[in-house]
């Protein structure tokens, strides 16, 4: 019986201390790329017409009530609104790319969490999307259930980094820092 317990403990130790530190952050980035990269990229393409020109789509998505009041005429947007639309579009291009390649991963994931929180706030207050609730036996709630999973995936990258197959890890290797299993990025 002790041999079986030791085998179990050795397997758990291998998984927890040798495999998980490189596998899980890498899988988190792969899941982000597979599930969200194209979603955010397509959303960003609808927000900008060039580098500094927000679209009516951006106006309607980010400031729905203001856009509707002026019939989606972007020229009627305030400087603040135009700035938010342009920066939001850039964020939807840049942050997912940073996560994809694993560069400034923790900061990019934190930025994406902020983006998702603002997106959710706008969806609820501006577009009338139902907030939903946790523990309600309905896993399809767009905000509370789905966006919680999005934030959890991003939070994992904030706390664990990008993993060993990333620009962050390459920079650490170039700087001569040892990559321990706990600092695999």
pLDDT in tens, 135-171: 888 877 888 899 999 999 999 999 999 999 999 999 9
Count of CB atoms within 10 A of residue 52's CB? 11
Q: Which two tokens stand for residue 82?
A: 């135009």
Which of 40, 4, 7, 31 lies closest to 163, judged by CA? 31
In total, how many domains does the chain have? 1
- What confidence score (pLDDT) does residue 184 get? 56
Instruction: Residue 107: give the domain boundaries.
Output: 2-183
The mean pLDDT of the chain is: 91
For residues 184 and 148, what is the distance between their CA atoms, to the nearest angstrom? 26
Q: How far is CA 72 from the centre of its chain?
A: 28
For 103-132, the three-class secondary structure string (H helix, E strand, C coil) is CCHHHHHHHHHHHHHHHHHHHHHCCCCCCC
Which of 113, 115, 112, 98 lies closest to 162, judged by CA? 98
Beta bridge partners of 48: 54
Contacts of 106 (CB under 8 A, 6+ apart): 157, 158, 159, 161
pLDDT tens for each residue of 84-129: 999 999 999 999 999 999 999 999 999 999 999 999 999 999 999 9
The one-character DSSP state at 54 is: B
Angle at 142 between CA 112 and CA 92, to 5 degrees: 25
Contact 105, 161 (CB under 8 A): yes
Which of 98, 109, 66, 106 lies closest to 85, judged by CA? 66
Q: Which two tokens stand for residue 93?
A: 């291009």
pTM of this structure: 0.86
Count of CB atoms within 10 A of residue 5's CB? 9
Of the listed ranges 15-24, 30-39, 108-117, the one predicted with least confidence: 15-24
């Amino acid at each position: 019986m002790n041999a079986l317990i030791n085998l179990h403990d050795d397997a758990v130790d291998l998984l927890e201390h040798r495999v998980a530190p490189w596998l899980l952050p890498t899988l988190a980035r792969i899941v982000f790329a597979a599930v969200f990269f194209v979603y955010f990229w397509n959303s960003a393409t609808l927000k900008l017409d060039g580098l500094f020109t927000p679209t009516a789509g951006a106006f309607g998505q980010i400031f729905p009530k203001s856009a509707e009041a002026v019939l989606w005429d972007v020229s009627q947007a305030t400087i603040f609104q135009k700035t938010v639309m342009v920066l939001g579009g850039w964020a939807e291009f840049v942050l997912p790319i940073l996560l994809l390649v694993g560069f400034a991963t923790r900061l990019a994931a934190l930025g994406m969490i902020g983006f998702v929180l603002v997106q959710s706030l706008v969806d609820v207050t501006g577009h009338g999307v139902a907030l939903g609730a946790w523990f309600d036996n309905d896993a399809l709630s767009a905000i509370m259930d789905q966006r919680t999973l999005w934030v959890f995936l991003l939070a994992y990258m904030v706390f664990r980094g990008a993993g060993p197959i990333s620009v962050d890890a390459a920079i650490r290797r170039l700087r001569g820092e040892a990559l321990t299993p706990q600092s695999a990025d």
